[in-house]
Chain A
Amino acid sequence: MLKQITVISGKGGTGKTTLTAAFASLATNALIADCDVDAADLHLILHPKSTSKLDFYGMEVASININKCSACGICRERCRFGAISKDLFIDEHACEGCGVCALICPEDAIIMKEHKAGEIYRSITRFGPLAHARLGIGEEAGGKLVSMVRKNASEMAAMYEINLIVIDGPPGTGCSVIASISGVDLVFIVTEPSVSGIHDLERVLEITTHFEIRTVVCINKYNVNEEKTSLIEEYCKSKGVEVVGKLPLSEIPTKAMLESKTVIEYDDGVFSGTIRDMWHKIITCDTSKKSDTNF
């Protein structure tokens, strides 16, 4: 049966992508999906070769035909997103593509145009297949692109007869995060012992609890603040969430990154050993028993 694991963090910069890349090199038969589409960085370590590319279209955007326009200004008044300027110029970043302006223009001067927002790729890396995407600057990723990358990933998994998908999820708690965890078997949260790390962990746990997805936590850079680390451990315990591992502050992730390697490829010591142990725990843990967290 196909199993899916999503790695998320709430707050950015906790080491989520580093860990996803490490898992990629530990998994024997897995597919990786980079759903951190806003700031996709996995490719910098995995160096994928694309086998196929698909354009991703976002919402359409409005466009004024100046030959037909009588400059009445009604479109500008009715646009609720402030996308039409005084001189009737449409700001494509601000336009949400609702179509109201085209609907009310008395001269029929506005058409809605297709708008390419990014590209979706299927690729091969040294660790197996990768589903990923690149988003244009200033484009809204939202849940739609994340869902498309995941759909691609499932199709590829079927094609390559792979039964495990590891998803690098987006930061935050918004709709793209929800799209990246819906229906998965396990959520792996990477956090750090700081006031903001704890705060964001609480917000993310609320979401995984709401969706009843089994969740485990890893505390990165735990020795920067051991007191806060104990607080996180206690908090997780009270919520019935297992802390599967703690990683110390280390130069290894940065050094590995500078050589475009995963930490597993770079390091053979205790640091990567801890990641190996975590990986073993999460692929063997029983996900049939959904979250037993108690909010």
Chain B
Amino acid sequence: MRIAIASGKGGTGKTTVSLNLALSLEDAQLLDCDVEEPNCNLFLNHELEKVRDVGIQVPAISNDKCNLCKKCVDICRFNAFVKLPKSIMLFPKLCHGCGACSLVCPQGAIYEEIRKIGIIERSSSQTCGTELYQGLLNIGEPMASPIIRALKEHIDDTRTVIIDSPPGTACPVISAITGVDCCVLVTEPTPFGLHDLSLAVELVKEMKIPHGVIINRHDIGNDSVERYCLENNIPVLMKIPYEIKIAELYSEGIPFVLKMPHWKERFVDMFRQLQVLGGC
């Protein structure tokens, strides 16, 4: 079973939920898909080993074949090429690696190379219950989705797969939650929380993914999120109170189920609800 943990916005407790759920189960595989800011391992402290580089195919031009016809410059919809007086120059970070330029080059002057944009790592020891996979996008690289897609190739469906999705509702989130059985949306009971939750709900509805909500720090705001869930028939899977102990453990980098074991049962209960929700 594949479970995604998402939220309309960062900082609501998405990573906290992913970690605590993973650690409450025996066999979880945790995929940290927040590749711009992978934070799960700050809490797990697993020793990591590199699995592989992730790259995209980008063009390179043989200057001796190129006659500066400019067809590649014109076909590229991402403006990744500029024509200089004596050569064609590529701005690699603008290139999406679509391959249009090599298709149109009449001189066969364009060949393709792999440009590395990030890496995939995993826990090197398989002895502890939770197996972590994380992707890391190099700083300043614009495209997270290729890393997320590559990360998902390592999914082990014999385990319970927990996907810590990136924040927001843009492309990288779609790459992360595509193909999951259900999605947990983490929010806070505040006007910002409700607004961001409603965006995330719109997205999962459009993608037809069964979903439920966790209200984090449920006692700090008002009941507008609960009312919203009730009105829209969205199950509230769990409410986590605001406790200074939880905040302190978080700041130390300790998942709270490790120090507050009664929460493990509650996460296992929630997991059962998710199995029903996802039809698994």
Binding site for B on A (CB under 8 A): 10-14, 17, 38-39, 41, 44, 59-60, 78, 80-82, 93-94, 96-100, 103-104, 135, 137-143, 171-175, 178, 192-197, 199-200, 203, 206-207, 210, 221, 224-225, 228, 249, 251, 254, 257-258, 260
With A97-B77, A196-B42 in contact, is A207–B139 under 8 Å at CB?
A: yes
B251 CB contact (under 8 Å) in A59, A194, A210: A194
Within 8 A of A (CB), among B125-182: 137, 139-142, 144, 149, 167-171, 173-174
Contact check, A138 vs B251: say whether CB atoms are below 8 A apart.
no
Contact check, B144 vs A174: say whether CB atoms are below 8 A apart.
yes
A129, B168: Cα distance in complex, Å: 26
A171, B78: Cα distance in complex, Å: 24
Contact check, B142 vs A174: say whether CB atoms are below 8 A apart.
yes
Within 8 A of A (CB), among B182-228: 190-192, 195-196, 199, 202-203, 206, 220-222
A100, B220: Cα distance in complex, Å: 51
With A96-B98, A100-B103, A173-B140 in contact, is A138–B206 under 8 Å at CB?
A: yes
A139, B221: Cα distance in complex, Å: 30
Look across to chain A and name the residue whose beta carbon is closest to the beta carbon of B40: A196
A251, B98: Cα distance in complex, Å: 49
Contact check, A38 vs B168: say whether CB atoms are below 8 A apart.
yes
Q: Which residues of chain B are near A174, meaning CB under 8 Å?
A: 36, 137, 141-142, 144
Closest chain A CB from B187 CB (angstroms): 11
Say which one of B5-13, B47-55, B82-90 lies at the interface with A: B5-13
Known interface pairs A80-B98, A82-B149, A224-B244; 14 further A-B residue pairs with C-beta atoms within 8 A, sorted by A's residue number? A38-B9, A39-B9, A93-B174, A98-B98, A103-B103, A138-B173, A174-B141, A192-B251, A195-B253, A196-B15, A199-B37, A199-B42, A206-B139, A257-B191
A200, B37: Cα distance in complex, Å: 7
Q: Which residues of chain B are near A251, meaning CB under 8 Å?
A: 220
A203, B35: Cα distance in complex, Å: 13
Look across to chain B and name the residue whose beta carbon is closest to the beta carbon of A141: B170
Q: Which residues of chain B are near A82, meaning CB under 8 Å?
A: 149
Contact check, A38 vs B42: say whether CB atoms are below 8 A apart.
no
Q: Which residues of chain B are near A199, meaning CB under 8 Å?
A: 37, 39, 42
Q: Which residues of chain B are near A60, meaning CB under 8 Å?
A: 77
Residue B234 at the A interface, CB < 8 A?
Answer: no
Contact check, B100 vs A103: say whether CB atoms are below 8 A apart.
yes
A178, B244: Cα distance in complex, Å: 35
What are 24 A-B pairs with beta-carbon distances under 8 A?
A11-B11, A12-B12, A12-B167, A17-B192, A38-B9, A38-B170, A39-B10, A80-B97, A82-B149, A96-B96, A99-B98, A100-B100, A100-B103, A135-B170, A137-B206, A140-B171, A171-B9, A175-B93, A197-B251, A203-B37, A203-B139, A221-B247, A249-B247, A260-B191
Look across to chain B and name the residue whose beta carbon is closest to the beta carbon of A79: B98
Contact check, A11 vs B98: say whether CB atoms are below 8 A apart.
no
Q: Which residues of chain B are near A221, meaning CB under 8 Å?
A: 247
Q: Which residues of chain B are near A10, meaning CB under 8 Å?
A: 37
Residue B278 at the A interface, CB < 8 A?
Answer: no
Look across to chain B and name the residue whose beta carbon is closest to the beta carbon of A258: B222
